Amino acid sequence: MDHPHNPATQLNTDAFHAINRPAAERRAASLVARRSIKGAHQAAWLLNAIACMDLTTLAGDDTEDRVRRLCAKARRPLADHIVAGLGLTEMPHTGAVCVYPTMVSAAVKALDSSGIPVASVATGFPAGLMPLDLRLAEIRYAVDQGASEIDIVITRAHVLGGNWSALYDEIAAMKDACGPAHLKAILATGDLVTLSNVHAASMVAMQAGADFIKTSTGKEGVNATLPVGLTMCRAIRDHGAATGNIVGFKPAGGMKTAKDALNWQILMREELGRDWLRPGLFRLGASSMLADIERQLEHHVTGRYAASHRHALA
């Protein structure tokens, strides 16, 4: 990741404020209905989504071979004729590959010289209910294996209990353990339930030095939703206005379609601006979304509706 780190600032709970859920839901619904992206523009936006994608596998049955297959798709996300048909001079690639710590080594080897970073989840993903020293050790292990981005999970209990200094200290310690790696703080917003909690947790994570804030592990009952994304984007804007520091955003979990990719990018463009459509500040945590994007792009090139079984599997 080429973006500079977000330096920690002091814990400041004055930055919290209540979020009105019905209003956030209305804005999220109208935001994507207000913008329509067609033709070549749609193709470009879908390509941009690939460039911002953390292509992910986080399953109990992950194997090194499975990870290598994913990395191959990250390097060549589209069939050659699609790339040519879109007028691109070189094969695009995804923003990163995201795996469990024990898979980092295999991923790093598979992505050698591709320029694609490896992101690792850590800190007792997905629940995070492990002793802090073990969680910090896990971060150091993943960094040591070659991960340049660490997706940590927060202790939801600190948010639900309003224990903000404990949350701040925990994330600050994790950031320290990351060393040169960027830290993405997964808030597990489905567990936090209220948008006011989401906003408060976002502010504390950014104050503690998170380089990205991320919605979900993909394992909660509710994953990335647009009202949650809207709330987190506004928190990023608020933090920037208060400190001058810039933080990235990563929705993750439940996003499967090319339409989702467009909607989330519209949210970024409208609420945070053009800069948040670059991989340095925006990632889509997804697995199956890429297949749908590839189908849509092939349709754009050929005019025929496409079939996934004719594309390379991730």
Give the count of residues interacting with another protein (CB under 8 A). Answer: 39
Print the binding letters for residues 160-199 with another protein: x by CB under 8 A, - otherwise: ---------------------------------xx-----
Quick check: is 151 catalytic? yes
**Out of 277, 286, 291, 306, the residue judged to bind another protein by CB under 8 A:** 277
Cα(216)–Cα(190) distance, rounded to whole angstroms? 7
Cα(250)–Cα(248) distance, rounded to whole angstroms? 7
Cα(68)–Cα(168) distance, rounded to whole angstroms? 36
Cα(80)–Cα(274) distance, rounded to whole angstroms? 28
User: Which one-letter amino acid corresponds to residue 18?
Assistant: A
CB of 293 to another protein, least distance (A): 14
259 near another protein, judged by CB under 8 A: no
Catalytic residue among 73, 175, 184, 250: 250
Q: Which is nearer to another protein, 125 or 282 (CB)?
A: 282
Quick check: is 214 catalytic? yes
Q: Which is nearer to another protein, 230 or 289 (CB)?
A: 230
Catalytic residue among 73, 175, 184, 214: 214
**Out of 4, 7, 13, 40, the residue judged to bind another protein by CB under 8 A:** 40
Cα(224)–Cα(217) distance, rounded to whole angstroms? 9
**Out of 13, 44, 144, 165, the residue judged to bind another protein by CB under 8 A:** 44
84 near another protein, judged by CB under 8 A: no
CB of 179 to another protein, least distance (A): 33
Print the binding letters for residues 5-34 with another protein: x by CB under 8 A, - otherwise: ------------xxxxxxxxxxx--x--xx
Catalytic residue among 54, 151, 191, 260: 151
CB of 37 to another protein, least distance (A): 6
313 near another protein, judged by CB under 8 A: no
Cα(135)–Cα(151) distance, rounded to whole angstroms? 12
86 near another protein, judged by CB under 8 A: yes
Quick check: is 292 catalytic? no
221 near another protein, judged by CB under 8 A: no
Catalytic residues: 151, 214, 250
| Chain residues that interact with another protein, rule: CB under 8 A | 17-27, 30, 33-45, 47-48, 86-89, 193-194, 234, 265, 269-270, 274, 277
